[in-house]
Amino acid sequence: MPAAEKRIDPEDGVAYTFEALAEYYKGKYKKAAINAYWEECKPVKRKGKAAKEPEPKAKAKAKATAKSKGKAAPEPKAKAKATAKAKAKAKAEPPAKPALGKPATAGQFRSGKPINVSALTKVSKDDLGMLPQPLKPRFRTALVGIYVRSQPFGGSDKSSNGHRYDSIPFANGMISAGNSCQLIHYVHEEHDTFFDVCKAFDAIIVRCNPGQIKADGGDQGKFDNGMRALRKLDIQVWPAPDVMEFMGAKDALCKIATLKIGLEDTLAYYDPADFATGFKKTMAFQPRVIKQNRGSSGEGIWIIKLKSGNYCKTYGERSCTDDEVLDLMEANDNHSEEHTVAEFIEFCVSGRTSKSGTWTSKGVGKYLEGGKEAGGQLVDQRFCPRIVEGELRYNMVSDALVGIIHKKPKEGGISAVGGTGSVYTYYGPKEKKFSNLTKNFLDDDLPKIMPALGLGEEPIPLWWTSDFINSSPEGTDPKDEKWIVGEFNCSCVGVSKCLPAYCKEDTPNACYNDIPRKDMMEVKRIGDLIGKKGMEVLVSAAKKRSKPAEAGQFFSDGPIDVSALKKVVKDDLGLLPQPKQPRYNTALTGIYVRSQPGGGTDKSANGHRYDSMAFANGIIQAGMSCQLINYVHEEHDKFFDVVKNFDAIIVRCNPGQIKADGGDQGKFDNGMREMRKKGIQVWPAPDVMEFMGAKDALCKIASLNIGLEDTLAYYDPAIFAAGFKKTMAFQPRVIKQNRGSSGEGIWIIKLKSGNYCKTYGERSCEDSEVLDLMEANDNHSEEHTVAEFIEFCVSGRTAKSGTWTSKGVGKYLEGGKEAGGQLVDQRFCPRIVEGELRYNMVADTLVGIIHKKPKEGGISAVGGTGSVYTFYSPKEKKFASLTKSFLTDDLSKIMPCLGLESEPIPLWWTSDFINSSPLGTDAKDEKWIVGEFNCSCVGISKCLPACVTDDAPSA
């Protein structure tokens, strides 16, 4: 048999059969689009029978998994056996890493899926070096870059394909961890479209170098606010704008001043007057470092000494005068200047003016401009003389140290920023000479940093640095040295080993493949760790999102605005958080009966129906939202104005409760019918509850396997009298009213004389014949004549009906058919004494079977009559024949038979069955018939402990 044709998918360069390709894209694109895409894929070139073909993803994955366990890849014949073994070992062994295909070559793109990003402008030439996306990513992430169209190469940090030089290791790390990671670009002209697309991701990695969005004509503040909006949707943003701002701000040093890595005498200034007063006082005491907030690469960071050396002995003993001379060195290039105190303060506040003197700095001063909100601030910190020995940069992936760089300034300099002749020495994360600092930083202070900065709700950045300065006097034992933070940086920190991939004038074609092989291992190590830590954050966030509401918490306020509706309940205890991007928006509608204790007999202590959470959480876990709301009849119009915004409404209002609360059930039902006309799903719709719950449903399904053909329905008193006399003369009957519940108005009837005719219609009962009656609600018995029974059913208690002990009032035909007035006349099945079977159904799925056996001597097995319940699984063999007839043969016909073909099968409903076969019939030949359907607020019995009772008022 010839092998199925394979073609190359240009997204990942791997060959697939059409079936494999179609399976991957199923649900993402329409069939016609998949067919068209297949035509664009290039066929695999064959070089003879022995030629080895590229492996499909599934096969490659199996092979890789087998290899990782030290086994040869299973042959096709052994595939089932290998799969079985793999399943058996799944619990004992950790899952294998996803099989990764070859990195993208020049011209190949890997960022078009799984999230559809086709609405965004494709800026880059390709995704060179990027791994294929996982077939089933655990989480879906995007890495956002910025291409500056007015600058050569798109900016000084770009490879020749338009991506940032170190983007690929970030993306590959996420992919290696089992997540997808698509490379996309922010183009400010399509701002709204960009953020609409980003809403589909679980996390966004921001790799836009400071200043580049503005350089491309965009608005950094607008971009940051867009990212803040994504955070509000619970989408991770690494790093979030507030993290970059608060962590990168120089006053972060004040906020961590009390930690081991901080200096307690660190001050921050936002106001010119406070700065002038404070600086004069600190400067008079000791050499200082003044740091502006907005500069980079050391610009605006000044190391300052009094030229006179006239320092006071105790802090606050004196303040500098305006004319005292300062020796200043700026960290960006280590150049020196001399200025008076007044000139320095003027430059910091107002920039170059007639009062500030002449400055050689490349900067413009004005460090407090715009105030605190605009980032105007200065930090005043003690000068640590040992800065001349250099500083330590700790390179961090989240909470993991990956390397230490000792940055030693050029002889005579103080700053070790790039381009100043400084010397860099690289150390591993376990370097012993820095073990004291490493311990203090990682073990003691790291967990406290984000809370100290006001970022307790944010994760530690994925890739960031912390620069340390030795503040201890010379000669201090290394184990006692105190290293303090000079600055944090998480704003697009580069991966230095990737620098060969960025373009310069002399390397205009630089690309990812230019990274030396010896450095690529370190690059991969960092990237993989970034992926691992990113996965940890996402898993932690997912667990946090899945934490149910606690007492006092409400999770039903969104995504649809329901604030116009009265909040009846105390909380949403137990409700899962709503999905951040629900596939559909649903609501569960309850009713709180204000005149009844606790809001009704079916309520938990917080006012919700006792089983509402089970419904809502199931919907949420399926990827939809489900908000719990209550119908208050006084705000009927407002209620339906709100619910028209949902895709589906789950109605959980117990029969009679809307009326008991003073409302109109018919008005409520008509409102729900209007929702159905608008295309909004209502589960169950009023017509479904009415037609399915009506007793004449048994007549409509009479011809199915689960029906009895001699089932009759009466709506008219005269027809009932004539029909009942005829059927009663023939055999014992069950007469069922339509409007009762719990067996009220369901009568099992026999002729006391036993005088049944042999053939149907041979005779009719006389009015005076005596009936033995048993009512199903409580199994009580009564004796009445045929005439009295007919009178009770039609007119209730009258002089002609005799005396009744029933709790009911009769009048079963009252109001006619339109008002639900009806009686069903069905053959009595003697084996009812053996009990009935209740099939619990979720739509078309059987979830459990209950055998409800009446108390000895009784016929009805409703609750409270001493009946015994036995629970079975849906696959119980003894009921296999009924289950097959019901699920396979009849289920699909029920809704059409009831005139409900346009409605779905109810979400949660029951069907009660009675064995109509003669005693001794083989189980496989037994005929079970429906006694009734029920979809009107059927309860979940396992949730009953959550229902308030006299014994459990706080349930």
Separation between Cα atoms, residue 569 and residue 607, nearest integer Å:
5
Digit-coded pLDDT (tens) for 587-599 = 999 999 999 999 9
> Which residues are CB-contacts of 35 (< 8 A; sequence separation ≥ 6)?
none
Q: Which range among 89-93, 96-100, 925-929 shows the weakest confidence by mean pLDDT? A: 89-93
Give the residue-averaged pLDDT of 359-366: 95
Q: Can you give the pLDDT at residue 630?
A: 98
Instruction: Output the six-digit token pair for 446.
Output: 């790291």
**Whether residue 264 has pLDDT greater than 90:** no
**Whether residue 760 has pLDDT greater than 60:** yes
Range 595-601 contact pairs with CB under 8 angstroms and sequence separation of 24 or more: 595/660, 595/661, 595/662, 596/660, 597/948, 598/948, 598/953, 599/568, 600/654, 600/657, 600/660, 601/947
Task: Measure the CA angle with vertex 940, ends 937 and 941; round to 5°.
Answer: 125
Q: Which of 242, 244, 276 is nearest to 378 (CA)?
A: 276
Residue 125: pLDDT band (50, 70, 90) is very high
Q: Can you give the pLDDT at residue 339?
A: 97
Range 941-949 contact pairs with CB under 8 angstroms and sequence separation of 24 or more: 943/610, 943/611, 943/613, 943/614, 944/610, 946/604, 946/610, 946/611, 946/613, 947/601, 947/602, 947/603, 947/604, 947/610, 948/597, 948/598, 948/603, 948/604, 948/605, 948/610
Q: Which value, in Å, is the radius of gyration of the alpha carbons in the chain?
A: 39
Instruction: Output the six-digit token pair for 205.
Output: 């990695």
Helix (H) or strand (E) holding 14: strand 14-17
Asked if residues 715 and 793 have their Cβ atoms less than 8 Å apart, the reply is no
Digit-coded pLDDT (tens) for 209-232 = 999 999 999 999 999 999 999 999
Q: In this predicted model, which residue has the larger pLDDT, 573 or 480?
A: 573
Q: Can you give the pLDDT at residue 864?
A: 61
> In the chain, pLDDT over 70 holds for what percent of residues?
90
Note if the bond before 684 is cis, omega within 30 degrees: yes
Separation between Cα atoms, residue 697 and residue 38, nearest integer Å:
51
Phi and psi dihedrals of 725, rounded to 5?
-60, -35
Give the residue-averaged pLDDT of 742-754: 93
Q: Can you give the pLDDT at residue 861?
A: 63
What letter does residue 647 receive in the DSSP assignment?
S
Mean pLDDT of the chain: 89
Separation between Cα atoms, residue 28 and residue 456, nearest integer Å:
38
Q: Can you give the pLDDT at residue 46?
A: 58
**Whether residue 857 has pLDDT greater than 80:** no
**Whether residue 336 has pLDDT greater than 60:** yes
Q: In this predicted model, which residue has the larger pLDDT, 55 or 278?
A: 278
- Letter for the amino acid at 809? V
**Whether residue 72 has pLDDT greater than 60:** no
**Whether residue 493 has pLDDT greater than 60:** yes
Asked if residues 341 and 283 have their Cβ atoms less than 8 Å apart, the reply is yes
Three-state helix/strand/coil letters over 811-834: CCCCCCHHHCCCEEEEECCHHHHH
User: What residue ranges do the domains of the chain occupy?
Assistant: 6-89, 252-384, 697-829, 832-945
Q: Which of 812, 803, 809 is nearest to 735 (CA)?
A: 812
Whether the full predicted model's pTM is greater than 0.85, yes or no, is: no
Separation between Cα atoms, residue 394 and residue 406, nearest integer Å:
9
Q: Can you give the pLDDT at residue 52?
A: 41
Please say whether the dihedral angle defined by the alpha carbons of residues 660, 664, 665 and 668, taken in this order, is positive or negative.
Answer: negative
Residue 62: pLDDT band (50, 70, 90) is very low
**Whether residue 59 has pLDDT greater than 80:** no
User: Which CATH code for domain 832-945?
Assistant: 3.30.470.20
> In the chain, pLDDT over 90 holds for what percent of residues?
75
Give the residue-averaged pLDDT of 26-31: 63
Q: Which of 902, 907, 844 is nearest to 648 (CA)?
A: 907
Give the residue-averaged pLDDT of 104-131: 96
Digit-coded pLDDT (tens) for 532-588 = 999 999 999 888 878 899 999 999 999 999 999 999 999 999 999 998 789 899 999
Separation between Cα atoms, residue 688 and residue 695, nearest integer Å:
13
Separation between Cα atoms, residue 900 and residue 478, nearest integer Å:
83
Separation between Cα atoms, residue 685 and residue 705, nearest integer Å:
26
